[in-house]
Structure 1
């Protein structure tokens, strides 16, 4: 068994890799935990490790399709810059920085969206030039986005380290090789185990705060804001019995959907604008990372938001800019390059927000240590009422 040194690209036997990598940094003080994580990352990435052989029922390593021409966000920015505005309309678009799109493969179709959104989140974190401390700790400083089996191993390690205890117990602290649904809670536990400040936000009606909701894989369980063994939103399609345009508490209600959409859109806008009121029109790359966007039956990644002010009243209209793991990366790239049909892939208006509840995750800057890191082991959340 051998592994590649990430510094000099020299191939060495696994037992020698740790000391070899450390030798490149003899003049620097190396955190023993980071050195250990780096060694583990190399083990997880090794195709030849017999102890980490991938079971047949888990997603295999599939070729990752990287978008050229500066990446997907760059292509999206170009398209939005060339989009024509209507008369008396002012348009402002706010985008996250670099994000790779990770599409679901045939092996993880129907259950892997959560893992794919974690990969998208990590691709952004590893691209940040102003976040060297994050690169240093994330996946042992290996500087690559792991595949699904490796992410499953990292999540098991997070549970064994005391992050999201109730969630780990729900899965018996085992998820490697399983086709089990995950959501924002699991993403938070995984990222927090590296010291990242992953934050969870709940969007729901006031009355649902005391509701009893069905949790997949278990009996009826009380809602626990941010503590769920699995996000309550992760329900297979068709189980909820609710269709598009149907209010979560019975009956069709366009006014409730409109209000719900307005609250969520305003929150996303404030997140990407950093609560600034003086954002000029145009297309802007912000210093904000993408949002893990969980809802009933599926999860996606929000990479930005567009606001249009129309007419003399300047009433804002919003479009979320979303990457869906269910879409094909090549299809998204072609649409963006052709500047035709890309809106169907990426734009989602307030009228599409028909699910009864939503949940988001974002990552604050910096690395937590000491007492703060201990506090991050409990997955809490912010509640936003519709």
Structure 2
């Protein structure tokens, strides 16, 4: 049996199993009025309250909405499968290690490569325990799509936003010193060269009808261990990797480097000072030195401050599946506009990636896929997840056979199973003269 089950709300540990823990949750943490809602004038959390918890998988540390946990641990299960089976053909030699800014990252990568079957089994047991708990029909989970995202909630004029929009640390004045030190020393997990690997995997996938990909210079930037939810910042960093790689307008501001979380916070605050989306300061109470979530309005403000052309768009429709359909249609049309040879099955472009926001999370869209059964999926770099070692070792290599291309692609695909949970999406796109950009 897999040890004690820990309550995601209060930390209480229950040794009698999952059903006993479920009883504890229903008794002590039943849904109702959020304790963070302030009646009357002043600050308030509009919209349904959100329960946040830390991912139970060892080494993740991500703070995410509870209703996201099932899909989140499913992706961890894919990671565990890849690590245990290492289902790549591989040539035996390892590629260059992940490009990082500090030793904690490379140390983590080393631990991942050397994880024992016992550790892998323990992780899979943890995943299954939480899957079982989350799947219980008596648990009262809300639909994530009922929550407003950071950007759409911006319509609340003159009001401080709360946990539903800004995350668990919505009212934090300053992040803890240990986290400041971690971010200063660790920077980010920065992996270039993944898009060419995705191109080769898509070519070998038996399920892919055709696909598009953005410029190959885009890096996959993901979180450090224990950092929590800085996904909005990590997406801005991925956009910055494109701007640097193509020397697009505004690249001189970054001085050939990916800006840090603290630099991004300073630039967003400076944008507010300059009157760009200035209501963001009122709604957030300020973000400098905090863990508050940011979204498309903050990214838009920063890029406009730096003179980087961009635009944002929202997709919101009450009809089930309509917002998802509109999003997919728009993204496909966007990538089609950058194709030079439509006869190719896998179509590389020189287009920038897309910043995608939905309730509680954001990621970077690096491509679009249509499968042979007619289904469509976004291809993404998700800041929550690092590239598996079996992917990293293929960077910079030409490989003509991969035993399990679809398994390797799963962490990068976001199709109907994921997107149907949300009724509202926002995107931010860079407007860059692609004819002057280097070839993909």
TM-score of Structure 1 vs Structure 2, range by shorter chain:
0.5 to 0.7
CA distance in 1, matches of 2:273, 2:323: 38
2:228 paired with 1:79: no
What is the CA distance between 1:166 and its match in structure 2? 0.7
Superposition pairs for residues 275-290 of structure 1, below 5 Å? 279-290=342-353
Deviation at 1:280, TM superposition (A): 2.5
- Maintained 8 Å contact 1:91/1:281: no
Corresponding residue number in structure 2 for 1:166 = 279
Classify 1:60/1:293 alpha carbon distance in 2 versus 1 (closer, same or farther; 3 Å): same
Question: Any idea what the Cα deviations from partners look like across 1:309-337, whole Å, max 9, x if unmatched?
Answer: 55xxxxx4212101111102344734866
Structure 1 residues 330-349: aligned runs within 5 Å: 330-331=388-389, 333-334=391-392, 340=404, 341-349=407-415
Q: 1:297 to 1:171 in 2, by over 3 A?
A: closer
Distance 1:286 1:197 in 2: 19
Matches within 5 A, 1:208-247: none
Q: Please report the RMSD computed on the Cα atoms of aligned residues, expressed in angstroms.
A: 2.7
How far, CA to CA, are the matches of 1:183 and 1:156 in structure 2?
14
Report what 2:185 is aligned to: 61
1:149 and 1:176 in contact (8 A); partners too: yes
Instruction: Determine if contact 1:79/1:336 at 8 Å carries over to the other structure.
Output: no
Bigger mean CA offset, 270-279 vs 316-325: 270-279
Separation (CA, whole Å) in 1 of partners of 2:209 and 2:393: 21
Q: What are structure 2's unaligned runs of at least 5 residues?
A: 1-175, 396-401, 434-440
Shift of 1:288: 1.6
CA shift, 1:170, in A, is 2.6
- Asked if the contact 1:95–1:305 (Cα under 8 Å) also holds between the matched residues in 2, the reply is yes
CA contact (8 A) 1:117 1:301 kept: yes
- Can you give the 5+ residue segments of structure 1 that lack an aligned partner in the other structure? 1-53, 208-248, 250-255, 311-315, 367-386
Look up the SS of the partner of 1:329 in the other structure: coil
1:199 to 2:199 alignment = no
Q: Give the SS at the match of 2:329.
A: helix
Q: 1:169 to 1:332 in 2, by over 3 A?
A: farther
Residues 294 and 331 from structure 1, CA distance in 2 versus in 1: closer, same or farther, beyond 3 angstroms? Answer: farther
Partner Cα separation in structure 2 for residue 303 and residue 332 of structure 1: 20
Relative to structure 1, the CA distance from residue 113 to residue 84 in structure 2 (aligned partners, 3 Å threshold; closer, same or farther) is same
Change (3 A) 1:145 1:276: closer
Is the CA contact 2:338–2:349 (under 8 Å) kept in the aligned structure 1?
no
Give 1:291 shift: 0.9
TM-score (norm 1): 0.58
Higher strand share: 1
- Distance in 1 between the 2:197 and 2:189 partners? 15
Indicate conservation of the 8 Å contact 1:103/1:324, yes or no: yes
SS in 2 for 1:322: strand
Contact 1:91 1:308 (8 Å CA) reproduced:
yes
The alpha carbon displacement at 1:126 in A equals 0.9
TM-score when scaled to structure 2?
0.51
Aligned 1:140-179 pairs, distance under 5 A:
142-172=255-285, 174-179=286-291
Partner of 1:328: 386
| Cα distance in 1 between the residues matched to 2:376 and 2:340 | 16
Paired with 1:264 and 1:280, the residues of 2 have a C-alpha distance of 24
1:127 aligns with 2:210: no
SS in 2 for 1:164: coil
Deviation at residue 308 of structure 1 after TM alignment: 3.3
State whether structure 2 residue 432 is matched by structure 1 residue 365: yes
Structure 1 residue 107 displacement after superposition:
4.5
**Cα–Cα, structure 1 residues 112 and 64, in superposed 2: closer, same or farther, change >3 Å?**
closer
3-state secondary structure, aligned to 1:61: helix
Secondary structure of the residue aligned to 1:127 is helix
Distance 2:327 2:354 in 1: 12
* Cα deviation, residue 65, structure 1: 4.4
Residues in 1 aligned to 2:347 and 2:365: alpha-carbon distance in whole angstroms = 15
Aligned length in residues: 246
Residues 183, 66 of structure 1: CA spacing in aligned structure 2 closer, same or farther, 3 A cutoff?
A: closer
**Which string of whole-angstrom CA distances, capped at 9 and with x for unpartnered residues, describes residues 210-233 of structure 1?**
xxxxxxxxxxxxxxxxxxxxxxxx
| In structure 1, distance between residues paired with 2:287 and 2:188 | 23
